[in-house]
């Protein structure tokens, strides 16, 4: 019988659902060295929590997250709350010796992210940040091909994340519009872009950002509240390597529900991923015969491709859920010898770069990432 790690989930929303789905689905898809079994869940709304626990098939639950993380039958704490709460839970869990999976971004501020990193490192527990899109086959192949030199030296990067979540000015104020709870849009969506860019291209050295909040007041409970969160931000980035790039995140783009793209141009080739067609990776090989000039649409479902083990025959396609299942595979395969990837070190680093972007937008100038992250290891 496969050994199990028992998981306590803090939060009961969409991420709690995707994680629970993934824990349960993973061993159906391929043998895993260790199973993750959700055993308890917390949430502040007792009624909603009870219903979620029933829906997800989790027997134990409590409105106090501290009650969950200290349970002796919890090995791993899985943090699925809004960003502003992440670090506090992560620190507490680590102090209890629990391994921690934290949804992205690791924290709403760089200081919090560093505190969380400090806690897991001090306690020596396993730690991971939920940058799930790394685990899409096409994204993983993109990185694999860059690392293998198949596009030569990377010169240009452009990445966007466009949604329509905030288009409607009548969407009322909630935690997503409160930067201390939900964090900025740079942190929410941009953290994925920064993670992928640094994973693929290396450290970002310097940024110039611009942000807008087009709907600056939103109503809640009969009154109006000022919105400090960015509706949209664009950023110029310079990498340590000399490569340059652009990133854009926006939640005010009509008829783009969750459209994330990344393109890499190297000296020898181009790679292009578009999440709306997530089973594909476009590759323009600059060394091809000119008679074949153009890009190929790779169907990233072949057994030779990364993150495909356990999945369907080629041509059938996977969806969003696969990113979480593959995240589970990654954690299971590493346990217990190897650290989880990406860890809080990455999460803190990404938080630092995002903080530099926020500062750049606020101060209307280029900001060196080192201004924010200092000379520390992160």
Among residue numbers 280 through 319, which ones bind its own copies (CB under 8 A)?
280, 283-286, 288, 290-299, 301-302, 304-305, 312-319
- The crossing angle, in degrees rounded to 10, of helices 137-147 and 191-201 is 30
Q: Does the N-terminal peptide bond of residue 105 adopt cis geometry, omega within 30 degrees of 0?
A: yes
The one among 365, 374, 376, 377 contacting its own copies by CB under 8 A: 365
Is residue 3 involved in binding its own copies (CB under 8 A)?
no
Quote the tokens at residue 356. 């530099």
Rounded Cα–Cα distance for residues 300 and 305 (Å): 6
Is residue 175 involved in binding its own copies (CB under 8 A)?
no
Those residues with Cβ within 8 angstroms of residue 304's Cβ, 6 or more apart along the chain or in another chain: none
SS3 369: helix
Nearest to 100 by CA among 79, 117, 124: 79
The one among 270, 334, 359, 371 contacting its own copies by CB under 8 A: 270
Is residue 320 involved in binding its own copies (CB under 8 A)?
yes
Quote the tokens at residue 290. 């000119």
At residue 62's C-alpha, the angle toward residues 60 and 63, to 5°, is 155
CA distance readout (Å), 139 to 62, 102, 202, 275, 300: 37, 21, 16, 9, 9
C-alpha 319, offset from chain centre: 16
Range 345-364, binding its own copies (CB under 8 A): 364
Range 40-79, binding its own copies (CB under 8 A): 54-57
Range 133-172, binding its own copies (CB under 8 A): 141, 151, 155-156, 158, 160, 162-164, 167
- CB-wise, 30 or 226, nearer to its own copies? 30
Range 249-268, binding its own copies (CB under 8 A): 250, 252-259, 265-268
- Binding segment for its own copies among 4-12, 75-83, 109-117, 234-242 (CB under 8 A)? 234-242
- Binding segment for its own copies among 92-100, 180-188, 204-212, 341-349 (CB under 8 A)? 204-212
- Binding segment for its own copies among 27-35, 107-115, 172-180, 190-198 (CB under 8 A)? 27-35
Is residue 368 involved in binding its own copies (CB under 8 A)?
no
The one among 6, 70, 366, 368 contacting its own copies by CB under 8 A: 366
Rounded Cα–Cα distance for residues 312 and 305 (Å): 12
The one among 149, 172, 321, 336 contacting its own copies by CB under 8 A: 321
Q: What is the DSSP code (8-state) at residue 162?
A: E
């Amino acid at each position: 019988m496969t050994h199990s790690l028992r998981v306590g989930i803090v939060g009961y929303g969409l991420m709690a659902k995707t994680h629970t789905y993934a824990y349960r689905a993973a061993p159906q898809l391929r043998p895993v060295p260790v199973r993750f079994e959700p055993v308890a869940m917390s949430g502040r709304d007792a009624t909603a929590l009870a219903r979620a626990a029933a829906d997800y098939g989790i027997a134990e639950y409590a409105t106090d997250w501290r009650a969950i993380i200290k349970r002796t039958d919890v090995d791993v704490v899985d943090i699925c709350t809004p960003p502003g709460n992440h670090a506090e839970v992560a620190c507490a869990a680590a102090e209890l010796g629990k391994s921690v999976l934290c949804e992205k971004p690791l924290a709403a501020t760089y200081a919090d992210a560093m505190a969380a990193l400090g806690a897991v490192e001090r306690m020596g527990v396993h730690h991971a940040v939920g940058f799930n899109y790394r685990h899409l086959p096409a994204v993983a192949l993109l990185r694999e091909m860059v690392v293998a030199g198949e596009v030569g030296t990377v010169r240009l990067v452009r990445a966007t994340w466009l949604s329509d979540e905030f288009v409607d000015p009548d969407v009322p104020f909630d935690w997503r519009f409160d930067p201390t709870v939900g964090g900025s849009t740079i942190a929410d969506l941009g953290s994925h872009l920064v993670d992928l860019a640094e994973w693929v291209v290396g450290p970002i050295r310097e940024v110039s950002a611009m942000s807008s909040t087009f709907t600056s007041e939103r109503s809640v409970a009969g009154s109006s509240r000022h919105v400090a969160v960015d509706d949209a931000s664009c950023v110029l980035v310079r990498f340590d390597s000399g490569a340059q790039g652009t990133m854009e995140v926006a939640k005010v783009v009509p008829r783009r529900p969750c459209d994330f793209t990344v393109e890499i141009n190297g000296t020898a080739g181009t790679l292009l991923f578009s999440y709306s067609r997530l089973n594909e990776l476009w590759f323009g090989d600059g060394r091809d015969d000119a008679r074949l000039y153009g890009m190929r649409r790779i169907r990233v479902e072949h057994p030779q491709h990364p993150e495909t083990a356990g999945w369907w025959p080629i041509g059938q396609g996977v969806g969003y859920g696969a990113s979480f299942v593959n995240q589970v595979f990654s954690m299971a395969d590493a346990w217990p010898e190897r650290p989880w990837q990406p860890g809080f070190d990455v999460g803190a680093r990404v938080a630092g770069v995002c903080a530099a972007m926020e500062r750049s937008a606020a101060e209307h100038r280029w900001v060196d990432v080192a201004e924010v992250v200092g000379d520390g290891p992160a």
